C-alpha cells in the first residue's frame, strides 16, 4: 500500500479550542498537491497512528516526527514547522529516456561491435549476442533501474539499505565510475581536436607533406602502387599468366583476389610503412617521436592544444550538469538524437561508395562454424555488458530522479532495443566505408578492419579523406563521436555526483561548487594524458580502470539482490512501484542466468589474460609496457573492489552476537531493521515517520 503525506505543516500543531479535547494527527492516503516526488512505499505494522489520551487534570501533546534518513533534508522554518526538501525530478519523462539511451549508446557501439561481428562469424555472431542481451544484459539493466527508482538514491546509500553486508558495492561502483572518467573524457577531447582540424579545405591527415610527417609516411595511392608493383614482380618472376600492368593504379579495386596478395601484403606490413592518418594521431595529436625515447617514465612535454580541448570538454560537462538533471535532461535532446541524424546521413552516403556492398557482405556473411569457439560467446557477453553499462551506478542515479510510479520497465525495454539496433546499424556504416577503403587501397578488408580508437581516429578518417567533400563528412563524423561520448560522460559524472550528494547532503546544497571542483580535479588528473606520450597513460587506464573490477562488482550486485535481499522482497518492491510483480523470466534471470553470465566473463577474462601492449608488434608505434605498470594497473583495479570485502568485514564486526547472528543482521535490509527497532514506525523510501508521545501538563 502506498501512503502519501498530505501536509507537513500541521505535524506539530496542537488543538487548543477546548479543554480536555482529544488531540489527533492523521495521515491521509492521498497524493501531494504540489509534487509527486514524495510518493513512495511505506511499510505498516498493526499499530494505529491515531492514539487518544484523556486525563481530567492534564493535557498531553502528541506529535509525529519525521526522522531524517538521508534521502530528504529537514529544516525548521520560522514558525517552528518542519519542512521537507523534495528530491529533484526530471522535467519530462523523455528527459530520462533520452538520458539512459545516451548513456547506453556510446563509442563502443561504433568502434567495437562492428569489428566483433565481422571477426566472430558475421551474422552468426548475432545468435550469441542476442542471447547475451536477453539473458544477461537486459535483466541487469532493468534491475538497476528498479533499485534506483525504488530507493530514490545514489549507489552508495542505496546499497547500504538493500544489503548492509555488501554496502561496499556502492562505494566500489562509484569509485570505478570515478576512475573511468579519468580517461574517457580525454578520448572525447580527441574527437574535439579532430573536429577543429576538419575545418580546412584539405584534411591534415590526407597527405605526407606536413612538418610532423616522416620519410616512412605513405599515402593510400602510394601503398596501392606498392602492392601493384609487388604483385607484378611476382607475376614476372614466376611467369604467371595474370598481368596487372594494364591496370590503372587510380582505379578503385582490391588486389586480394591475386595469388600473391598475401605475400605482398605481408611485405608491406613488415616495412612498417605509416599512413598519414597514423602519423597525424601519433605525431601531431600526440608527439611520439621515436628519437625522444618516450615512455611511461618519460611522458615528455604538455601538448597545449590537447589540454585546451580537454578543458573545453569539461566546461561543456560543467555547464550541462551544474544545475542537476533539469539542465542535463535538456542537453541530451541534442546529444542523444544528433548521432542518429549523422548515422543516417553517413549510411545513405556509404551506399553510393565503390566497395560498400563488399563491406556489407563481409560484415553480415554468416559463418556458423565460429559458434563452436568459446571466445565468440565471451566476446558477445562482454560487448553486451559494457555497451548497456549496468554497474556503474549511472542507471541507479538516473532512475532515482523518476516519479515513484514511473513505468521504468517500458523505458528499459526501449533502451535495450535501441542500443542493440544502433550497434547493428552502425556496423553497416562502418563496413561500407571499410569496403570502400579496401577498394581504394587495394588491400583486403581483413587488413584494414580495426577496432577501438584505431578505427575511429585512424582508419575511418583516412577513408573519409579520400572522398569528395572530405571536410564536410569529417565534420559530421566527429560531431557524432563528440555527442556520443558526451552522453556517456554525463552519465558517469551524474552517478558520482548523485551517490556522494545522497551520502553527504551538504554537497547537494552546494552542487555548483561540488561539480566544479570535481571537474577541476578530473582536469588536473587528465594533464598527464595530454603530454607527448600521454596516449600510453590513457591506454593503461583503459585496460585496468574498469574491465575486471566492474564485472566483479556487478556479480556481487546480482548475488546481493537475488540471494540476500531476496526475490520475495524485490517482487514486492516492483509491485508497489509498477502495480504487478515481475514474471518468472525476470526472477530466473536475476537468480541464475545473470550471475552465470557475469561469472563466465570473469573466468574467461582471467584465463585468457595477457599483459596489454600499445598497438601490435608490427605497428610502427608499438610500445611494450614495463612490468611495474601492470602491477600498478592491477593495484588500481583492486583499489575499488576492495571496498566490497572491507565493508563486509566491518559490518560483521560491528554487529553483536554469534557469527550466524551477525551475518543474519548484516543481510537484513534497512527498512526491516527500522521496523524491528521500533514497531511504531512507518517506513518509506522517502521518509521515516516515528510516533512518539510527549507530555505537557498545562
Q: What is the mean pLDDT of the segment spanning 529-552?
A: 90
End-to-end CA distance of the chain: 39
- Tell whether 582 and 681 lie within a shared domain: no
pLDDT in the model for residue 679: 63
Domain range for 673 is 668-695
> CB-hemisphere CA count at 13 Å for 466?
25
In the Cβ-directed half-sphere of 345, how many Cα atoms lie within 13 Å?
13
Report yes or no on 256 lying in a domain. Answer: no
User: pLDDT grade, residue 21 (50/70/90)?
Assistant: very low
Rounded distance, CA 98 to CA 95, Å? 5
Phi, psi values for residue 2, rounded to 5°: -105, 125
Over residues 596-621, mean pLDDT? 85
Q: Binding site annotation covers 102? A: yes
Q: For the ranges 60-69, 138-147, 430-439, which has the lowest average pLDDT? A: 60-69
pLDDT, residue 74, reads 38
Q: What is the pLDDT of residue 601?
A: 85
Is residue 692 predicted with pLDDT exceeding 90?
Answer: no
Q: Determine if residue 105 is labeled as part of a ligand binding site.
A: yes
- Integer Cα distance of 195 and 1 in angstroms: 54
Q: What is the pLDDT of residues 41-76, one digit of tens each?
A: 444 433 333 343 344 444 434 444 444 444 443 333
Higher pLDDT, 695 or 611: 611
488 is in an annotated binding site: yes
For residues 96 and 439, which has the higher predicted lDDT (pLDDT)?
Answer: 96
387 is in an annotated binding site: yes
Which of the pair, 261 or 161, is modelled with greater confidence?
A: 161
Q: Residue 402 pLDDT > 60, yes or no? A: yes
For the stretch 460-486, pLDDT in tens is 899 899 899 999 999 999 999 999 999
Judgement on whether residues 204 and 329 belong to the same structural domain of the protein: yes
The answer to whether position 316 is within a domain reads yes
pLDDT band of residue 685 (cuts 50, 70, 90) is: low
Does residue 263 lie in a domain region? no
pLDDT for 82? 40
CA dist list (Å): 581 to 208, 573, 594: 64, 8, 19
pLDDT confidence tier of residue 680, bands split at 50, 70 and 90 = low
Determine the pLDDT at residue 259: 67
Q: Is 143 annotated as ligand-binding? A: no
Q: Is 489 annotated as a binding residue?
A: no
**Of 143, 177, 161, 168, which Cα lies nearest the Cα of 558?**
143
Q: Which pLDDT does position 112 carry in this prediction?
A: 85
Cα within 13 Å of Cα(645), Cβ side: 5
* 264 domain residue, yes or no: no
Please indicate if the annotation marks 487 as binding a ligand.
yes
Instruction: For residues 673 and 587, state if they share a domain.
Output: no
Answer yes or no: are the C-beta atoms of 456 and 107 closer than 8 Å.
Answer: yes
Query: In this predicted structure, what is the pLDDT of residue 555?
Result: 92
Please report how the helices 138-151 and 567-578 are oriented relative to each other, as an axis angle in degrees rounded to 10: 70
Same domain, 682 and 580: no
Q: Is 298 left (phi over 0), alpha (psi -120 to 50) or beta?
A: beta
Higher pLDDT: 593 or 72? It is 593
Strands of 513-566, DSSP E = none
* Alpha-carbon gap, residue 554 to 531, rounded angstroms: 34
Quick check: is 663 in a domain? no
687 and 643 fall within a common domain: no
Residue in 356, 364, 421, 372 with CA at minimum distance from that of residue 122: 364
Residue 137 located in a structural domain = yes
Residue 614 lies in a domain: yes
Does residue 193 lie in a domain region? yes
Of 216, 339, 210, 218, residue with least CA distance to 285: 210
**Same domain, yes or no, for 478 and 601?**
yes
- For residue 480, the model assigns a pLDDT of 93
Of 16-30, 95-109, 453-467, the least confident: 16-30
Q: What is the pLDDT of residue 684?
A: 55
- Give residue 45's pLDDT: 39
Q: What is the pLDDT of residues 202-243, one digit of tens each?
A: 999 999 989 999 888 888 888 888 888 888 877 776 655 444
Residues 131 and 160 in one domain: yes
Which tens digit of pLDDT belongs to each residue from 650-678? 999 999 899 999 999 999 998 888 777 76
No. of helices (H) and no. of strands (E), the chain: 32, 7
CA dist., res. 494 & res. 456, Å (int) = 26
Residues 389 and 520 in one domain: yes
pLDDT at 106 over 80: yes
Domains of the chain: total: 2
Which class for 215: exposed (0-12), middle (13-18), buried (19 or more C-beta within 10 A)? exposed
Is 499 annotated to bind ligand? no
More confident residue, 577 or 375: 577
- Do 601 and 680 fall within a single domain? no
Residues 676, 527 within the same domain: no
CATH code (residue 479): 1.20.1740
Q: Are residues 591 and 679 in the same domain?
A: no
pLDDT at 391: 85
Task: Tell whether 686 and 587 lie within a shared domain.
Answer: no
- Measured CA to CA, the distance from residue 365 to residue 298 in angstroms comes to 46
pLDDT bin (cut points 50, 70, 90) of residue 682 is: low
Using one digit for the tens of pLDDT, what is the confidence trace for 276-332?
999 999 999 998 887 778 889 999 999 999 999 999 999 999 999 988 888 888 999
Whole-number Cα distances in Å, 393 to 176, 341, 396? 9, 29, 5
Span 119-132, pLDDT tens digits = 888 888 999 999 99
Burial 136-166 (b: 16+ CB within 10 A, else e): bbbbbbbbbbbbbbbbbbbbbbbbbbbbbbb
Please provide the average confidence, as pLDDT, over all residues in the chain.
81
Q: Would the annotation count 391 as a binding residue?
A: no
Amino acid at each position: 500500500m502506498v501512503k502519501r503525506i498530505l501536509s507537513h505543516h500541521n505535524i506539530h500543531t496542537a488543538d487548543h479550542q477546548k479543554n480536555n479535547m482529544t488531540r489527533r494527527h492523521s495521515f491521509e492516503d492521498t497524493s501531494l498537491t504540489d509534487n509527486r516526488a514524495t510518493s513512495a512505499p511505506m511499510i505498516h505494522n498493526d499499530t494505529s497512528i491515531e492514539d487518544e489520551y484523556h486525563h481530567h487534570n492534564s493535557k498531553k501533546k502528541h506529535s509525529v516526527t519525521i526522522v531524517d534518513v538521508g534521502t530528504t533534508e529537514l529544516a525548521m522554518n520560522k514558525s517552528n514547522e518542519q519542512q521537507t526538501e523534495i528530491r529533484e525530478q526530471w522535467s519530462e519523462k523523455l528527459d530520462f529516456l533520452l538520458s539512459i539511451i545516451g548513456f547506453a549508446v556510446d563509442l563502443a557501439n561504433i568502434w567495437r561491435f562492428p569489428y566483433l561481428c565481422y571477426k566472430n562469424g558475421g551474422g552468426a555472431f548475432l545468435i550469441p549476442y542476442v542471447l547475451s542481451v536477453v539473458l544477461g544484459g537486459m535483466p541487469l539493466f532493468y534491475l538497476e533501474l528498479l533499485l534506483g527508482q525504488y530507493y530514490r538514491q545514489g549507489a552508495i546509500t542505496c546499497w547500504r539499505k538493500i544489503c548492509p553486508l555488501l554496502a561496499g558495492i556502492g562505494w566500489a561502483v562509484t569509485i570505478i565510475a570515478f576512475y573511468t572518467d579519468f580517461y574517457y573524457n580525454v578520448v572525447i577531447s580527441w574527437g574535439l581536436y579532430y573536429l577543429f582540424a576538419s575545418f580546412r579545405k584539405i584534411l591534415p591527415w590526407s597527405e605526407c607533406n606536413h612538418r610532423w610527417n616522416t620519410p616512412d609516411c605513405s599515402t593510400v595511392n602510394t601503398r596501392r602502387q606498392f602492392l601493384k608493383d609487388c604483385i607484378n614482380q611476382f607475376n614476372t618472376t614466376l611467369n604467371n599468366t595474370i598481368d596487372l600492368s594494364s591496370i590503372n593504379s587510380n582505379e578503385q579495386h582490391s588486389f586480394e583476389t591475386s595469388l600473391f596478395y598475401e605475400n605482398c601484403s605481408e611485405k608491406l606490413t613488415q616495412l612498417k610503412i605509416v599512413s598519414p592518418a597514423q602519423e597525424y594521431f601519433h605525431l601531431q595529436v600526440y608527439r611520439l617521436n621515436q628519437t625522444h625515447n618516450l615512455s611511461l617514465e618519460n611522458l615528455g612535454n604538455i601538448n597545449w592544444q590537447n589540454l585546451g580541448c580537454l578543458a573545453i570538454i569539461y566546461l561543456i560537462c560543467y555547464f550541462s550538469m551544474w544545475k542537476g538533471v533539469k539542465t542535463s535532461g535538456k542537453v541530451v535532446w541534442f546529444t542523444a538524437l544528433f548521432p542518429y541524424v549523422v548515422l543516417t546521413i553517413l549510411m545513405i552516403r556509404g551506399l553510393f561508395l565503390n566497395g560498400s556492398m563488399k563491406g556489407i557482405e563481409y560484415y553480415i556473411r554468416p559463418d556458423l562454424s565460429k559458434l563452436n569457439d568459446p571466445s565468440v560467446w565471451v566476446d558477445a557477453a562482454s560487448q553486451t555488458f559494457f555497451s548497456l553499462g549496468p554497474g556503474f551506478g549511472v542507471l541507479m542515479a538516473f532512475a532515482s530522479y523518476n516519479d515513484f510510479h514511473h513505468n521504468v520497465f517500458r523505458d528499459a525495454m526501449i533502451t535495450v532495443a535501441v542500443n542493440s539496433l544502433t550497434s547493428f546499424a552502425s556496423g553497416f556504416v562502418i563496413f561500407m566505408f571499410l569496403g570502400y577503403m579496401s577498394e581504394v587501397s587495394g588491400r583486403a578488408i581483413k587488413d584494414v578492419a580495426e577496432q577501438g580508437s584505431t578505427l575511429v581516429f585512424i582508419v575511418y578518417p583516412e577513408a573519409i579523406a579520400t572522398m569528395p567533400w572530405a571536410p564536410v563528412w569529417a565534420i559530421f563524423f566527429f560531431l557524432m563521436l563528440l555527442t556520443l561520448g558526451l552522453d556517456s560522460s554525463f552519465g558517469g559524472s551524474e552517478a558520482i555526483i548523485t551517490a556522494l550528494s545522497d551520502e553527504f547532503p551538504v554537497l547537494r546544497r552546494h552542487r555548483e561548487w561540488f561539480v566544479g571542483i570535481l571537474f577541476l580535479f578530473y582536469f588536473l588528473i587528465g594533464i598527464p594524458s595530454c603530454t607527448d606520450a600521454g596516449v600510453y597513460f590513457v591506454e593503461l587506464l583503459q585496460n585496468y580502470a574498469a574491465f575486471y573490477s566492474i564485472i566483479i562488482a556487478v556479480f556481487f550486485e546480482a548475488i546481493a539482490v537475488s540471494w540476500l535481499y531476496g526475490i520475495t522482497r524485490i517482487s514486492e518492491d516492483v509491485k508497489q512501484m509498477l502495480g504487478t510483480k515481475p514474471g518468472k523470466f525476470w526472477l530466473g534471470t536475476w537468480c541464475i542466468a545473470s550471475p552465470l553470465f557475469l561469472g563466465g566473463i570473469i573466468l574467461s577474462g582471467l584465463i585468457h589474460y595477457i599483459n596489454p601492449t600499445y598497438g601490435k608488434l608490427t605497428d610502427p608505434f608499438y610500445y611494450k609496457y614495463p612490468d611495474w605498470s601492470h602491477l600498478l594497473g592491477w593495484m588500481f583495479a583492486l583499489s575499488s573492489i576492495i571496498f566490497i570485502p572491507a565493508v563486509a568485514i566491518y559490518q560483521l564486526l560491528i554487529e553483536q552476537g554469534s557469527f550466524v547472528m551477525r551475518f543474519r543482521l548484516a543481510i537484513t535490509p534497512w527498512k526491516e531493521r527500522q521496523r524491528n527497532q521500533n514497531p511504531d514506525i512507518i517506513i518509506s523510501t522517502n521518509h521515516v515517520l516515528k510516533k512518539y508521545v510527549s507530555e505537557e501538563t498545562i
